[in-house]
Amino acid sequence: MVKRVAWGAAVVTLLGGLVGCSSGDADGAGEKPREATWLVGPDRPKTMKGKAAWINGNAVVRVRSDGAAAYDLTNGRPLWTHTVPAPQIVCTVAEHADQGVGLIGQGLEDEPCDRVTAIDLATGRALWTRRLARTAIPGTNYYGVIEAGAGSALVPVAGRVRALDLRTAKARWTWTPPRGCAFTAEDSAMAAGPDAVVATFRCGRKAAKVAVADPARGRTRWVADLGVGAKFDAAEVLSVSPLVVRVKEDGERSRDELLTFDAKGTRLGAIPVSGPEGDLDLDLGDFTRRIAVGGDRIHVAAKPPGARLLEQDLLTFDLTGRRLWRSTFEDGVTSLALAAGGLTVLAQDPGDPALLIALDPATGKPVRKSWLRYDVNVSCRMFVAGGRHLMVNAGASTQSVPAIMAF
């Protein structure tokens, strides 16, 4: 169902100063606070949870428990609202939109997520809805179970990956997994780019593999073993190009690493999620995504050994796993974004104004910084689009933290 109104949250355009936290911290001396251009107020009812966001042309689309809503990037004007039928909820989401279409999974709360809907991001209208036959998505991960890319909607069907036309749902191809393997919604993941479809597969009780397919026909290009054992828990695709996969096992002597591969499937390096450099701030399937991959660099937030309560590092690695630089943030790393060759970090000590810091991605050195006159939810994701920094609330909004803020 589509309505040309916003949800209960108000959209406010801000022209003057904002009532908010003081920006007089010594670290920000001499820096002019940035005012929010517009914001979308907290979710109502407060039980709603933010689950994803997409940028589509001059609009930002935020997905929450009961559907999706679009806002004009320039002024925050509500464009449309799409609501899933009650009492269903949005239980999984495609991380990326493609060709003006976004995908959501929906189903009854605490039951399998068994339907996928394609939304036209220009109008908010449902293009199609399909029930996933013989497939039960547990709905515990927001990302990786369905995906949009290369003109296709990618969905799991009976242990395989099927590509549907984004706008018509017409079947394009079905990708047969490597021999002895299956795509399982509980511990496999998929992602897509313009030139490749990537998926991880469980292969029996003691193995898992990653494979890359041609997006036009679903033919396998190469397969690589992920080197896991009986304690295999999950494998998540964090980037398609370059290919970065997180592999996680359970247990006291388990593996938890970021693995990198070249275009032919050769493994380039491994970065431990918990190692000498610190504990990488990553949660499987999480909307927040305190990691940014671009070119031959991996930028990721980490808790260094012996760090104070809020202190975090931003670490940058090359694809061999070698650390190139480290930058320390006393107030932690709330979010980061890589866009147009620039790296931006959002840092905040709870109760204080947020600090936006632009870094040189080659060295990690600050280029400029500015205070924001609002505090920001620690579970937010930052996007850079249309000349603005967008802070999209990833969790349930509170009375004081808007669902979206634009600077």
Every domain of the chain and the residues it spans:
90-406
Q: In angstroms, rounded to a whole number, what is the distance separating the alpha carbons of residues 18 and 26?
A: 20
Which pLDDT value is given to residue 314?
96
Tens-place pLDDT, residues 66-110: 999 999 999 999 999 999 999 999 999 999 999 999 999 999 988
Which pLDDT value is given to residue 5?
37
Which amino acid is residue 399, in one-letter code? Q
Which two tokens mark 270? 């491994």
Please tell me the least confidently modeled range out of 16-20, 35-39, 85-89: 16-20
Fold of 90-406: Lipocalin (2.40.128)
Instruction: Name which of 384, 406, 400, 398 is nearest 49 in CA terms.
Output: 398
Tens-place pLDDT, residues 190-238: 999 999 999 999 999 889 999 999 999 999 999 999 999 888 998 999 9
Instruction: Name which of 53, 103, 98 is nearest 73 in CA terms.
Output: 53
Contacts of 83 (CB under 8 A, 6+ apart): 1, 2, 3, 66, 67
Mean pLDDT of 259-284: 94
Q: In angstroms, rounded to a whole number, what is the distance separating the alpha carbons of residues 308 and 263?
A: 40
State the number of CA atoms in the 13 A half-sphere of 95 facing the CB.
22
Under 8 Å between Cβ of 124 and 70: yes
Which two tokens mark 347? 């840092």
